[in-house]
């Protein structure tokens, strides 16, 4: 009877995720979440607007990327910066991090976010981002990714109770469910 309950639970998890099974083992069932599903989840969280001492920063049009061979998930977005003194500036930012599952919210967040690429008006600013600038910017990046999940599991299901591990491997986000 215990195995029947486990099988039914894992079967229900599979059909409620919309993702493919990567592996079933005694440790649990691992579901592969492609970057396209993560992008869909991110799009529900954006645009994000933040007022700073220098002006207003708006992030929109998010996209998720996962490079094969990497253990980090990358999220990119279009950046708009405006203030009363200059014309609006437009660029893009790409931030990578390691996935972390929060059991209370049922969401997956990025830990240790790091700016991978920053462009404004067609110019790469990566070479100009000094360690001092990063020390000032990093708290905003950390706060953003602590607040905004990169992927949401459906809160109204039991599957959140069964998440054992999340990681990036083989070009996908892998979520392992088990008892």
The CATH number assigned to the domain holding 29 equals 3.15.10.40
| Predicted local distance difference test score (pLDDT) of residue 6 | 43
| Predicted local distance difference test score (pLDDT) of residue 130 | 72
Separation in Å, CA 62 to CA 42, 74, 141: 6, 10, 15
| Predicted local distance difference test score (pLDDT) of residue 43 | 93
Q: pLDDT by residue (tens digit) across 97-124? A: 999 998 888 899 999 898 888 888 887 7
Q: Which residues contact 60 (CB under 8 A, 6 or more apart)?
A: 46, 47, 48, 77, 78, 80
User: The domain containing residue 45 runs over which residues?
Assistant: 2-177
- Specify the number of domains making up the chain: 1
Averaged pLDDT, groups of 10, the chain, 179 residues long: 42 47 64 91 90 86 91 92 88 92 88 86 74 74 85 66 84 84
């Amino acid at each position: 009877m215990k195995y029947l309950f486990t099988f039914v639970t894992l079967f229900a998890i599979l059909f409620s995720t919309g993702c493919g099974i990567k592996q079933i083992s005694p440790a649990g069932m691992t579901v592969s979440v492609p970057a396209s599903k993560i992008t869909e989840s991110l799009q529900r969280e954006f645009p994000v607007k933040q007022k700073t001492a220098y002006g207003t920063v708006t992030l929109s049009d998010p996209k998720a990327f996962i490079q094969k061979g990497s253990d980090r998930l990358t999220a990119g977005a279009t950046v708009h910066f405006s203030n009363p003194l200059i014309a609006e500036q437009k660029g893009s930012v790409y931030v990578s991090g390691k996935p972390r599952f929060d059991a209370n919210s049922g969401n997956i967040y990025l830990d240790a976010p790091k700016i991978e690429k920053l462009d404004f008006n067609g110019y790469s600013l990566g070479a100009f981002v000094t360690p001092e600038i990063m020390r000032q910017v990093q708290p905003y990046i950390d706060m953003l990714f602590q607040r905004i999940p990169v992927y949401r599991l459906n809160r109204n299901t039991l599957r959140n109770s069964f998440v054992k591990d999340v990681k990036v491997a083989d070009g996908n986000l892998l979520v392992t469910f088990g008892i």
